[in-house]
Structures are given as C-alpha cells and as structure tokens.
Amino acid sequence: MPSRSKISLSEENIEKMEESSVQFEVLERKTLEIVREAGEKGVLQKDLWKKLGLDSRKGLKIVRKLEEQGLILREQVVLRGRKTYVIRPATLLQKETTLPDFLDEIPCFFCPNLAKCASGEVDFLECPILRRWLTNG
C-alpha cells in the first residue's frame, strides 16, 4: 500500500494544474483590461466579479496578485452605507519617468537570448557581448 505522505502527480493532475494556471493568467489579463478601461473612475469590486463571471473568493485571489505586482490599486469606499472597494489601474498614479539614455545601449535589451539568460539557461557572467559592452562602454 502506498504511503499517504507521498504526493504523486499523474499526467492528468499535471495537465489540470497547467490548465488552471493558464486560466488564471487569462483571468489576470482580462481583469487588467477591465480595470484599465475603467480608468480613473475605477470599477467596483462586485461589478468586476460580475464581468469576470467569478465568485469573490476567486476574484480576490486575482486582484490581490495584481495588487502585489503594483498593477492595480484597491481603495475602500462606502457606497449606500456599505463598505466596498474600487479598483483602479496603478499606472494612473505613477509619475512619468525618463530613463537615462545609456540604458538604450545595454545589449541585453535587444538580445534574443534575454529569456534564456533570465531563466539561467545562459550564464550572463560568461556572455562575451555583455563583457564587451561593459569594458568598452
């Protein structure tokens, strides 16, 4: 008899996990779209749940993640005597920033291997392109 403490992931379970993570990403994108379209006025949390077709538990999970990433802001308001939340895009409150020109020259920004470097597949410490830029720049 297999031990209860062992977790085995069948292909079916892995598929379900991948499917639910894709669904979560789609819902995140849809949430951002709705919030950005609402603009400065924002969208009431309960209206957001309706538009997404989600219950508050699932909706909150998505909103909290986007809030943690600094993409949206959630502000408590009182509407007809009841507490609720308005959700707005965070970018509206951010000041425009001008980046220094030298950042345009960093080779990584134009490199087809950027994703591989970010994942650790390519070791940036061994990269001749970056080394050349650092020593000549």
Return d(Cα 79, Cα 115) in angstroms, integer.
45
Return d(Cα 104, Cα 101) in angstroms, integer.
6
**Minimum distance between the CB of residue 124 and ligand SF4, rounded to whole angstroms?**
4
Return d(Cα 109, Cα 105) in angstroms, integer.
8
Q: Give 17 or 129: the residue with its C-beta nearer to ligand SF4.
A: 129
Residues 35-94 close enough to bind ligand SF4 by CB under 6 A: none
Q: Give 90 or 114: the residue with its C-beta nearer to ligand SF4.
A: 114
Name the percent of the chain in helix, strand, coil, to the closest 5: 60, 15, 25
Q: Give 71 or 111: the residue with its C-beta nearer to ligand SF4.
A: 111
Q: Are 11 and 25 in contact (CB under 8 A)?
A: no
- The pattern of x and - marking residues 90 through 129 that bind ligand SF4 according to CB under 6 A reads -----------------xx--x-xx--x----x-x--x-x
Q: Give 52 or 127: the residue with its C-beta nearer to ligand SF4.
A: 127
**Minimum distance between the CB of residue 113 and ligand SF4, rounded to whole angstroms?**
4
124 CB-contact burial (10 Å; exposed 0-12 / middle 13-18 / buried 19+): middle
**Minimum distance between the CB of residue 132 and ligand SF4, rounded to whole angstroms?**
9
Residue 69, classed as helix, strand or coil, is coil
Q: Give 26 or 129: the residue with its C-beta nearer to ligand SF4.
A: 129
Return d(Cα 126, Cα 128) in angstroms, integer.
6
What does the binding site for ligand SF4 look like in residue numbers (CB under 6 A)? Answer: 107-108, 111, 113-114, 117, 122, 124, 127, 129-130
